[in-house]
């Protein structure tokens, strides 16, 4: 992201966000300690203590690294290093992610709101069972201390399948990796998994009731929620 230019030609350098500073420190730590792919980072509590920040603030930096695929955060295990990138490339990718987030949200609104409305019109008993199973899976993940990312993905896949529109479903598959970015960024926010699950329930209820307008509104409200991230 470039800075603004004043009349004298000086470029105002954007102030880095706190999580970007922590991301740089984490990458410096990984390099200094020689961690490689498959190695486990220290526990969040330990890292937060060493860096002098809250666990919530540290979690935001870890989510940023997870969104970019640098680490894989596994419930019950911790943050596992996937690969060792350069600090410069990660900071650049973080800013690119932030810049493209509005377009990803726009694409999701265009596709998923329509899919929800169609699902309310076309869903079968099997479709409703798949949607309910996805909600139960996400609820179980959250109850177990996880963020519910797998159940979240299953839910949106089930809604898309219930719409019975092969072309729209193919378009969702095309942007699946971009959607994953928004999913990880959103569910990484404190308290967000529970709120997301509730918004999924509203979508499911509208689809089950066969109300296309309510299903579309509920999906749009959910996507608006997803857009509210600090990354």
Residues 77 and 157 in one domain: no
**Is 159 in contact with 207 (CB distance < 8 Å)?**
yes
Token pair 């199973």: residue: 133
Residues 159 and 213 in one domain: yes
Closest by CA to 90, choosing from 182, 183, 28, is: 28
What pLDDT, on a 0 to 100 scale, did the predictor assign at position 4? Answer: 57
Residues 103 and 195 in one domain: yes
Q: Which two tokens stand for residue 113?
A: 């709101």
Counting residues of the chain whose pLDDT is more than 70, the rounded percentage is 94
Q: Quick check: 79 pLDDT over 90?
A: yes
Out of 15-24, 42-51, 173-182, 201-210, least confident range: 15-24
What's the pLDDT tens digit per position in 26-77? 999 999 999 999 999 999 899 999 999 988 889 889 999 999 999 998 888 8
Out of 13-27, 60-74, 157-171, least confident range: 13-27
Q: Quick check: 82 pLDDT over 70?
A: yes
CATH code of the domain containing 199: 1.20.120.530
What pLDDT, on a 0 to 100 scale, did the predictor assign at position 1? Answer: 43
What pLDDT, on a 0 to 100 scale, did the predictor assign at position 49? Answer: 93
Q: Which two tokens stand for residue 126?
A: 């099997």
Total tally of structural domains belonging to the chain: 2
Distance, CA of 61 to CA of 27 (rounded, Å): 11
Tell me the whole-structure pTM to 2 decimals: 0.83
In a domain, 13, yes or no: no
């Amino acid at each position: 992201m470039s800075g603004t230019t004043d009349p004298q030609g000086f470029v105002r350098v954007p102030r880095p966000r706190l999580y970007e500073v922590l991301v740089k420190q984490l990458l410096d730590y990984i390099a200094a300690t020689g961690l490689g792919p498959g190695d486990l980072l220290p526990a969040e509590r330990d890292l937060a203590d060493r860096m002098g920040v809250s666990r919530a603030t540290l979690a935001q930096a870890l989510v940023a690294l997870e969104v970019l695929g640098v680490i894989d955060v596994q419930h019950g295990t911790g943050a596992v290093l996937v690969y060792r990138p350069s600090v410069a490339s990660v900071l650049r990718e973080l800013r690119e992610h932030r810049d493209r987030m509005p377009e990803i949200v726009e694409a999701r609104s265009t596709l998923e709101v329509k899919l929800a409305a169609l699902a309310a019109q076309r869903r079968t008993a099997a479709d409703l069972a798949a949607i309910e199973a996805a909600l139960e899976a996400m609820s179980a993940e959250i109850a177990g201390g996880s963020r519910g990312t797998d159940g979240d993905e299953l839910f949106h896949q089930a809604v898309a399948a219930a719409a019975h529109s092969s072309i729209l479903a193919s378009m969702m598959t095309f942007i699946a990796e971009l959607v994953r970015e928004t999913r990880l960024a959103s569910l990484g926010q404190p308290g967000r998994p529970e709120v997301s699950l509730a918004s999924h329930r509203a979508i499911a209820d509208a689809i089950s009731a066969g109300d296309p307008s309510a299903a579309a509104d509920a999906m749009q409200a959910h996507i608006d929620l997803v857009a509210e991230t600090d990354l």
